[in-house]
Amino acid sequence: AQSVTQLDSHVSVSEGTPVLLRCNYSSSYSPSLFWYVQHPNKGLQLLLKYTSAATLVKGINGFEAEFKKSETSFHLTKPSAHMSDAAEYFCVVRPSGYSTLTFGKGTMLLVSP
């Protein structure tokens, strides 16, 4: 069985400061890991994915995440937050050989001027 724990339901940052959204996963098989972003009234958009290649993964809009097997973590970071980053972020796991995705409960990122 697989599961995802997003450690913070809400994260507040000021524009221009770093962003850290934390995610821990549990999976019986070598997983693929993803981060999706959901803006209000818009569909889920893939930010980045880890599929057993490089452990440091770069995504769109300056986001990146590092896969740490020993810590079963896949935290999302960005050096400098922008107002347009305000949205809900989901950490997602897909075990190897499976098609379906298991989502975390989400982290709402709030960015203040």
Partner 1 sequence: DTGVSQNPRHKITKRGQNVTFRCDPISEHNRLYWYRQTLGQGPEFLTYFQNEAQLEKSRLLSDRFSAERPKGSFSTLEIQRTEQGDSAMYLCASSSPSGLAVSYEQYFGPGTRLTVT
- Residue ranges binding partner 1 (CB under 8 A): 4, 32, 36, 41-46, 49, 51, 90, 92, 94, 99-106
Minimal distance, residue 85 CB to partner 1, in Å: 19
- Classify the C-alpha dihedral 92-27-11-57 as positive or negative: negative
Sign of the C-alpha dihedral, residues 24, 68, 47, 97? Answer: negative
User: Which residue lies nearer to partner 1 by CB, 12 or 96?
Assistant: 96
In the complex, the smallest distance separating the C-beta of residue 81 from partner 1, rounded to whole angstroms, is: 22
By beta-carbon proximity to partner 1, the closer residue of 37 and 111 is 37
Q: What Rg, from alpha-carbon coordinates, does the chain have?
A: 13
For residues 73 and 91, the answer to whether their CB atoms sit within 8 Å is no
- CB of 44 vs partner 1, minimal distance in Å: 4
Number of residues that this document lists for the chain: 113
